[in-house]
């Protein structure tokens, strides 16, 4: 079955950095776009970024553009999110999700359980 397992979260000071990872299993990772989505405390879901199946053309939400970088290693079936210049408002649970694109349909069909990033001094 499809599994996505995130790691790399933790407590970091404002201005700090982290690298989040997501390891996939149960499907051909090479064939799918992947995405990062976060949920801030007490609030809803916010899409952050997606990357194509071959790692080209990453897309970012304006709120993280220039600070976050998405990448993938298909040989390791892994998705990454480098988060820099962290702000208190980046405190959230970060989810990776498999992103299905079959125009006109597009959707996140499987999600991981998330990794918590806390930005605080």
Partner 1 sequence: QSVLTQPPSASGTPGQRVTISCSGSSSNIGRNPVNWYQHLPGTAPKLLIYSSHQRPSGVTDRFSGSKSGISASLAISGLQSEDEADYYCAAWDDSLKGWVFGGGTKLTVL
Site residues, partner 1 (CB under 8 A) = 4, 35, 37, 43-47, 59-62, 95, 97, 100, 104-114
Q: Which is nearer to partner 1, 14 or 107 (CB)?
A: 107
CB of 61 to partner 1, least distance (A): 5
- Strands (E) across the chain are located at 3-7, 10-12, 18-25, 33-39, 45-51, 59-60, 68-73, 78-83, 92-102, 105-111, 115-119
Q: Which is nearer to partner 1, 27 or 47 (CB)?
A: 47
C-alpha span between 15 and 9 (Å, rounded): 15
CB of 76 to partner 1, least distance (A): 21
Q: Which is nearer to partner 1, 27 or 111 (CB)?
A: 111
């Amino acid at each position: 079955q499809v599994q996505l397992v995130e790691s790399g979260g933790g407590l970091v000071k404002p201005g700090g950095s982290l690298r989040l990872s997501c390891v996939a299993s149960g499907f051909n990772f090479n064939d799918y776009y992947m995405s990062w989505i976060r949920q801030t405390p007490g609030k809803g879901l916010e899409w952050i970024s997606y990357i194509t199946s071959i790692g080209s053309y990453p897309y970012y939400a304006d709120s993280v553009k220039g600070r976050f970088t998405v990448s993938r290693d298909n040989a390791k079936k892994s998705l990454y999110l480098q988060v820099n210049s962290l702000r208190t408002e980046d405190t959230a649970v970060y989810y990776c999700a498999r992103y299905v694109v079959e125009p006109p349909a597009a959707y996140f069909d499987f999600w991981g359980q998330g990794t918590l990033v806390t930005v605080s001094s």
